[in-house]
Amino acid sequence: MRRFSFVFFCSAFSLLSLLSSCLQTPASPASFAPTVTYHPFVTLSPTLFGPPWAPLPSPSLFRPTVQSASSSPAVGARTHYRMQVLLDYVNRSLVVDEYITYVNTTGVPLENLVLAVEPNRQEGVFKLETVAAPSVSGYALNGSRLEVRLRPALPAGESLELYLRFTLNLPPADIFNLFGYRSGQMNLVDWYPFIVPYRVGWVLHEKGEVGEHLVYETADFDVSILPTEAQTSVLIAAPVAPDRNVYRLQGARTFAFSVSDRWKMASRTVGATTLTSYFLPADEVQGQRVLDEAALALETFAHLFGPYPYPALTIVQAEFADGMEYDGLFYLGRRFYLEDDGTKLNYLIALTVHETAHQWWRGLVGNDSALEPWLDEALATYSEYLFYEQNYPGVAEAWWALRVENFAPQGFVDARIYDMDDKQMYTNAVYLRGALFLRDLRARLGDEAFFAFLREYAAQMSGKIASDEDFFRILASHTQVDLSDLLQKYFRPGHP
């Protein structure tokens, strides 16, 4: 993430990060552990795809594109998630039918698929009822890892449809976690099993104490969300407006949504993009301010980096200690609304801008947030400065004092989330020294080359998972200037 974990103490300018961490090592791509118990595959013929249970409310909206492993190759095709959610707001539970169409674009035959199942990190939350596919021979769910064995292997370039049925009983969320329910609000983030990226192996990292550990490919989503009867008064905050009950989001890394019966909302448009802000009625002034500044940030970044990648941007207030970005949707902690002083330079506005910038840096351009978190966090943080420089130049330099200099940051920009056991140290190194590196890089290149580089980095890596190497490869095509002293100053020894 994406996170800015800051809390106000005493005044708006006295801040302490809430981030913490511990020393861990990332998981290596694992093979099946010998102790794993495999469940036999539920045999269904491909023609049975389509629910074998109660009929869907709007079956015509879902036309399963069942493809067998013998379908013609669809090279470069994105994974498609089609989910039908029966939502029980009163009882905080969901029943979900998930159809995944996966195309093997790895270039090698796959004998297994690995899915991240974040809700299964907690007892009693996630219950997997069915796994089915034409060529699955078994599956194993261990914590947040679901491994599905394919027999025969899925050849490169061919596709597979996987069906899962699961239930979620949402846990109470604490102030450091969004997933679950809190204060009359359900937050569904990383709530469904999804296929993780495949590189040399499957990329599914261990959770750290700081930062984000999940890595996402871009995918297409059709999500039907149906509140159970008599609960239709709830508002659903989603990354896109529904077409009847179906939310269609394309080229996104994840689909997050929230539900509450307590919100007010406000909307506006910027060009073809609809922005919507959800907030408690008592916080209407701030809910509107957030909406207006997000709109300005969206315009600013579209101008600087390239077109906004989604049809809408949704901002959800939450009882949360932080801000957190998802595709087309982000969360802002209510504390920032309550501590708003009405000025442009405070954490309510800075975090609004930061999370908006993540729509380009982590949404449009993906990265490995566990191993190379600077690629999104340094850019999102420096983007805050760009927003102030462009729109409120009178306070742009004060931004550096508020967000960076106050913390006298130390540490290597390219730290991993596992490298530090303190949230402030992590933020200082990756976010704050990351912003300082980008400031110095811009000064070295000059504005024309620097912004041309950012635009090309966004364009070239759009829809992909960028690496440190990609960043510097594209940068090298925009400058011949010697950057070795900057690399030595900001990056770990031995950085190429």
Contact footprint for Zn ion (CB under 5 A):
2, 377, 380
**CA–CA separation, 127 and 144 (whole Å):** 12
Which residue has 């394309």 as its token pair?
Answer: 250
Q: Output DSSP code: residue 243.
A: B
CB nearer to Zn ion: give 380 or 404.
Answer: 380
**Two tokens, residue 101:** 């169409």
Find the shortest distance in angstroms from Cβ 423 to Zn ion. Answer: 13
**CA–CA separation, 294 and 346 (whole Å):** 14
Assign 3-class secondary structure to 304-347.
HHCCCCCCEEEEEEECCCCEEEECCEEEEEHHHHHCCCCCCCCH
CB nearer to Zn ion: give 377 or 419.
Answer: 377
Closest CA to 60 of 80, 44, 84, 87: 84
CB nearer to Zn ion: give 371 or 380.
Answer: 380
Residue nearest to Zn ion (CB): 2
- Asked whether the CA dihedral 326, 235, 336, 303 is positive or negative, the reply is positive
CB nearer to Zn ion: give 98 or 293.
Answer: 293
Find the shortest distance in angstroms from Cβ 139 to Zn ion. Answer: 34
CB nearer to Zn ion: give 78 or 253.
Answer: 253
CB nearer to Zn ion: give 360 or 491.
Answer: 360
Find the shortest distance in angstroms from Cβ 380 to Zn ion. Answer: 4
Find the shortest distance in angstroms from Cβ 20 to Zn ion. Answer: 16
Cβ–Cβ under 8 Å, residues 265 and 275: no
Find the shortest distance in angstroms from Cβ 357 to Zn ion. Answer: 8
**CA–CA separation, 73 and 197 (whole Å):** 19
Find the shortest distance in angstroms from Cβ 355 to Zn ion. Answer: 7
**CA–CA separation, 141 and 146 (whole Å):** 4
Other CB atoms within 10 A of residue 280 CB? 19
Find the shortest distance in angstroms from Cβ 472 to Zn ion. Answer: 21
CB nearer to Zn ion: give 126 or 407.
Answer: 407
